[in-house]
Chain A
């Protein structure tokens, strides 16, 4: 299963934009371009990361602050705060609604949880 280089070469611009945005949201402070590059995939070209960051900035999804000569980027949390409340309301509305959502992971039994914890420990 080493299909990765092929997929990576073909990774679409939209997919990369999402990965950069995800990295900015995952970080707890604003990141410089080099830091974003490291947080997404160090094999990515610096210029590619720079292009994606300016595209996200143009779309208003990312803000930037100047720190000397360098820009530092952070995710814009405007409508997202409201969206968070709406999403939580949706999740609270019970199993009928939740069944509709295609979730990444569903809940676990206690034994299963222990097995997964053991798996993650072995990996470290």
Chain B
């Protein structure tokens, strides 16, 4: 338990690095998305569980274990210092509070948008008379596509098809759910914030590729993206996060040849996730052994 309980933190860093690499280099297929999301979820649950185990050590049995060991004449490595337990409780509490907050904002916004769409009547598409160009996918049953008139007026027929296909791809791929999952993961384990950004990028790329396939033109897709991005007023990108400035990366990817999937990297990513979960299981077993040793049945 002394080592395996800290392994999830180390592996989270590796997952973050590899996730970013995969987002930039690999074809944004369904498998890519699911692998990265799966690895992140395993990683976050492993970390949360490890924090929980560390928190349990505050119950006082670790000092008891050390005393017991010296009485029985066994050499026992000090399992977990008290400070670590306190830190674990704080981190876990902060993580849970943040996760709940993130989910509540998400649900509230989604509900608001859904009601807004419902007020505009039936059908898939809702157009609102706003000049600024925006397009959103609004998940629900059925999912809706919300577009501003300003965006439609900017584009030709093929580019309009691109926007509709892009938003529809978000709905079909359950991209909102995947992003919500990653937000919870990153709230619990801040080391996974880069993976959240990577998934946000991958789902945009996936929707772009789908739109390119539906419209039959990668150029039209790139042009629609460029026009929409250029027309968005007064929102120059402040940070350097690669998702806030990702439009250029997406346009560049569309101008290049369609990317190919590379299963080896995906396998590596999944192994990291599985590794985290395995470390959590290992830590749990060690925890149980310690308890059993102290209080034999």
**Chain B nearest CB, measured from A110 CB (Å):** 7
Q: Is the CB of A108 within 8 A of B134?
A: no
Q: Is the CB of B109 within 8 A of A100?
A: yes
> Given A84-B130, A104-B135, A105-B229, A26–B155 Cβ distance below 8 Å?
yes
Q: Is the CB of A7 within 8 A of B213?
A: yes
**Chain A nearest CB, measured from B14 CB (Å):** 26
Q: Judge whether B84 is part of the interface by a CB distance below 8 angstroms.
A: no
**Proximity string of chain B (189-224) to chain A, C-beta cutoff 8 Å, 1 when within and 0 when not:** 000000000000001000000001111111100110
**Chain B nearest CB, measured from A80 CB (Å):** 5
Q: Is the CB of A97 within 8 A of B105?
A: yes
Please report the C-alpha to C-alpha distance between residue A110 and residue B119 in the assembled complex, in whole angstroms. 38
**Complex contacts, A115 vs chain B, CB 8 Å:** 248
> Given A61-B123, A81-B129, A119–B136 Cβ distance below 8 Å?
no
Report which of B106, B157, B168, B255 forms a contact with A23, defined as CB distance below 8 A: B157
Q: Judge whether A45 is part of the interface by a CB distance below 8 angstroms.
A: no
**Complex contacts, B161 vs chain A, CB 8 Å:** 19, 41
Kindly identify, within residues 68 to 124 of chain A, every residue whose CB is under 8 Å from any CB belonging to chain B: 75, 77-84, 86-88, 90-91, 96-97, 100-110, 112-113, 115-117, 119-120, 123
Report which of A7, A40, A105, A112 forms a contact with B216, defined as CB distance below 8 A: A7
Please report the C-alpha to C-alpha distance between residue A101 and residue B127 in the assembled complex, in whole angstroms. 16
Q: Is the CB of A4 within 8 A of B215?
A: yes
**Chain B nearest CB, measured from A58 CB (Å):** 10
> Given A87-B146, A105-B232, A60–B116 Cβ distance below 8 Å?
no
**Chain B nearest CB, measured from A104 CB (Å):** 4
Please report the C-alpha to C-alpha distance between residue A106 and residue B217 in the assembled complex, in whole angstroms. 21
Report which of A11, A75, A106, A117 forms a contact with B243, defined as CB distance below 8 A: A106
A100: nearest chain-B partner, CB-CB: B109
A-B contacts, CB under 8 A, total: 201
Kindly identify, within residues 39 to 58 of chain A, every residue whose CB is under 8 Å from any CB belonging to chain B: 39-41, 56
Q: Is the CB of B236 within 8 A of A59?
A: no
Q: Judge whether B60 is part of the interface by a CB distance below 8 angstroms.
A: no
Q: Is the CB of B237 within 8 A of A104?
A: no
Q: Is the CB of A22 within 8 A of B237?
A: no
Please report the C-alpha to C-alpha distance between residue A79 and residue B128 in the assembled complex, in whole angstroms. 9
**Proximity string of chain A (1-22) to chain B, C-beta cutoff 8 Å, 1 when within and 0 when not:** 1111101100100110111011
Q: Judge whether B291 is part of the interface by a CB distance below 8 angstroms.
A: no
B118: nearest chain-A partner, CB-CB: A79
Q: Which A residues contact B (CB, under 8 angstroms)?
A: 1-5, 7-8, 11, 14-15, 17-19, 21-23, 25-26, 28, 39-41, 56, 59-61, 75, 77-84, 86-88, 90-91, 96-97, 100-110, 112-113, 115-117, 119-120, 123
Q: Which B residues contact A (CB, under 8 angstroms)?
A: 105-106, 109-110, 112-113, 116-117, 119-130, 133-137, 145-149, 151-153, 155, 157, 160-161, 163-168, 170, 175-176, 179, 203, 212-219, 222-223, 225-230, 232, 235-237, 243-248, 251, 255, 258
Known A4-B216, A26-B149; further 12 A-B contacts with Cβ < 8 A:
A4-B215, A18-B123, A25-B147, A25-B149, A39-B157, A87-B146, A90-B109, A108-B229, A108-B232, A109-B245, A112-B247, A112-B248
29 contacts between A and B (CB under 8 A): A3-B216, A8-B216, A18-B145, A19-B157, A22-B160, A26-B149, A41-B161, A59-B123, A61-B122, A79-B119, A80-B126, A80-B128, A80-B129, A82-B119, A83-B128, A87-B116, A87-B146, A90-B109, A100-B110, A103-B134, A104-B163, A104-B228, A106-B245, A107-B235, A108-B236, A113-B230, A116-B247, A117-B226, A119-B222
